[in-house]
Amino acid sequence: MKRSTSRKSTARNGAATRNSATALLKTQHRKVEAILKKLEGGRSEAQPLLEELARDLPAHMQIEQELFYPAVRKLDEDMVLESFEEHAVAEIALKRLLATSSEDPTFKAKATLLKELITHHVEEEEGELFPKVDKKMAAEENLELGRRMKEMFEQASQQSIEPGIPKGGRTTADVAEQRLLRDMQSAAE
């Protein structure tokens, strides 16, 4: 009898872990990495991959910027601020890639650069930030954050990012970071 309760608890914890904020982000990381690998390899039809990337990567960055980073900033403020900067650079690299024909000789170089930026960012998040979140954030809070992030992602991924450099050089990451910094300043006062 005790054993089945333990199994149920383990199964419940496994399901909870799969639905956490960090688990959702890891799943999205694997998807974006796979798309970028295909683009870099040049063996797949580029246009459908670019369309998927133009929907999923900005939606992923939005849920991190709007929900995840504000919720976890106190666990590693420096890493969160660095993540905003990495998002800003990745957004510009993505827009440059989207504005480039897959036949252009610079297309592969642009795809490789974006892949390297994303790989670096993912390694830091998954290696340093996510373990802190999973250890220090209450499981219920992590699950609720994951639910809200999934809902926002589903809405945001219905849109596609426009190619080109943003006017005034400000990215969506810059805007979200400034909002977070204002919130931090207000909280300190």
Per-residue pLDDT reduced to its tens digit, 59-90: 999 999 999 999 999 999 999 999 999 999 99
Is residue 9 scored above 70 in pLDDT?
Answer: no
- Please state the pTM of the whole predicted model: 0.81
- pLDDT attached to residue 12: 38
Is 90 exceeded by the pLDDT of residue 29?
A: yes
CB 116 within 8 A of CB 33: no
Per-domain boundaries in the chain: 2-188
Percent over 90 (pLDDT), the chain? 57
Query: Which range in 13-17, 49-53, 99-103, 130-134 is most confidently predicted, on average pLDDT?
Result: 130-134
Q: 173-182 contacts: CB < 8 A, separation 24 or more?
A: 173/61, 173/65, 173/84, 173/85, 173/87, 173/88, 173/91, 174/84, 174/88, 176/65, 176/66, 176/69, 176/84, 177/65, 177/81, 177/84, 177/85, 177/88, 180/69, 180/70, 180/73, 180/80, 180/84
- Reported as a pLDDT band with limits 50, 70 and 90, residue 4 is very low
Which residue type occupies 151? E
**Helices 46-63 and 172-188, axial angle in degrees (round to 10):** 10
pLDDT at position 20, please? 95
pLDDT at 5: 42
Per the CB < 8 A criterion, the answer to whether 14 and 6 are in contact is no
Q: What is the sign, positive or negative, of the torsion defined by CA atoms of 137, 124, 94, 70? A: positive
Predicted pLDDT at 65: 95
DSSP letter, residue 129 = I
In 3D, which of 51, 28, 27 has the Cα closest to residue 39?
51
Where does the pLDDT of residue 40 fall: very low under 50, low under 70, confident under 90, or very high at 90 and above? confident
Domain 2-188 has CATH 1.20.120: yes
Per residue in 139-183, pLDDT (tens digit) is 999 999 999 999 999 999 888 766 555 555 567 776 777 788 888
Mean residue pLDDT across the chain: 85
**pLDDT at site 177:** 76
